[in-house]
Amino acid sequence: MALTLHCLGTGAGRTAVYDGECSSSWALAYDRRPFFLADLGLGVCKQALRYLGEIPSTIFISHNHSDHAGELPVVLAVEGLQKRRPMSVIAEPEVLARLRVYRMHELLSTGIDMSEFATWVPAPEGFRVGIQSEAGLVHLTTHRAQHSELCFGARLDIGSLSVGWTSDSGFSPSLLGSLNCPSLLLIDARKVGGHEHASFKEIAEYVANNENVEFLGAPVAGHLFTPREGICQLAIIGYGSSAEAPARADGIPSSAVLWPGQVIVLKQAPTQRNSVAFIAGFLCGYVCSLCSEHLTPSRD
């Protein structure tokens, strides 16, 4: 058994429409069973079914842009209403309100109350939301990102491990500070940055100037992620299509660039037989991805 992080897509706003590659999204799974999805933009449903076998029942939405929430109405109509799966949507309260009013507007014609599609869980900034999973209790905290649309990144604490994510954001020291040095930090960055998206150069300089931050290195010890006390290991996501991925010339090592289909084994149970089987499956999935080109809040 293992706790794993799955990169489903790295796409920017236009990527799914013009390049046919999945929007930026990632998921968590335990014992190969997915339980958490970060954003549900264009192309994510197909990738989740391909790499995970199903849509995770808990979905966090960072903001109401199509490359982060575009497939939410269809997925909830199918999974929540038709299949009667208990789906949950978590978002900062104002983001949640916008999703219900604007993103879900196309389902109003059904005359069905929004509560029939999913449980809508507010996650106010500065509060923690508990997510029950087979990996144990996961605590999620939202943090304001720097973006044109109201947008929030998140930090997830899973036992002694933590995963931070900026979602769509310009380079924001306040956001990075509020994420509070997670074990693994997934950060949105582009070749050309601006107010809404950090640049590769800004991220490279951030790592160089902070002794407690380093780029994610090549997996070791059976492809396990190795947390380091007091060190935040950083990886790049949300950079766009495969052709727009950062390179060494951008100051970003290849080990810190996430690819669709990539799996990071965050924690492996100490069972040799399961470990060997899982690592073999991970290697197969990772090689295939390269070949294809790549619920009650409480205050802290």
Cα–chain-centroid distance for residue 30? 15
As for how many domains the chain has, the answer is 1
Residue 38 near residue 165, CB atoms below 8 Å:
yes
pLDDT at 280: 43
Q: Which of 154, 151, 185 lies closest to 170, judged by CA?
A: 151
Angle formed at CA 198 by CA 195 and CA 202, multiple of 5 degrees: 120
Q: What is the pLDDT of residues 26-83, one digit of tens each?
A: 999 999 999 999 999 999 999 999 999 999 999 999 999 999 999 999 999 999 999 9
Q: What is the CATH number of the domain that holds 177?
A: 3.60.15.10
Question: Which pTM does this prediction carry?
Answer: 0.88
Beta bridge mates, 188:
237
In this structure, the dihedral spanned by the alpha carbons of residues 177, 98, 137 and 176, taken in order and rounded to 10 degrees, is -10
Q: Which contacts qualify for 74-80: CB closer than 8 Å, 24 or more apart?
A: 74/45, 75/40, 75/45, 76/104, 76/107, 76/117, 76/118, 77/107, 77/117, 79/55, 80/116, 80/117, 80/118
Identify the three-state secondary structure at position 92.
coil
Domain of residue 11: give its range. 2-299
pLDDT at residue 293 greater than cutoff 70: no
- For the chain, percent of residues with pLDDT exceeding 70: 87
Q: What is the pLDDT of residues 248-278, one digit of tens each?
A: 989 999 999 999 999 999 988 765 444 444 4
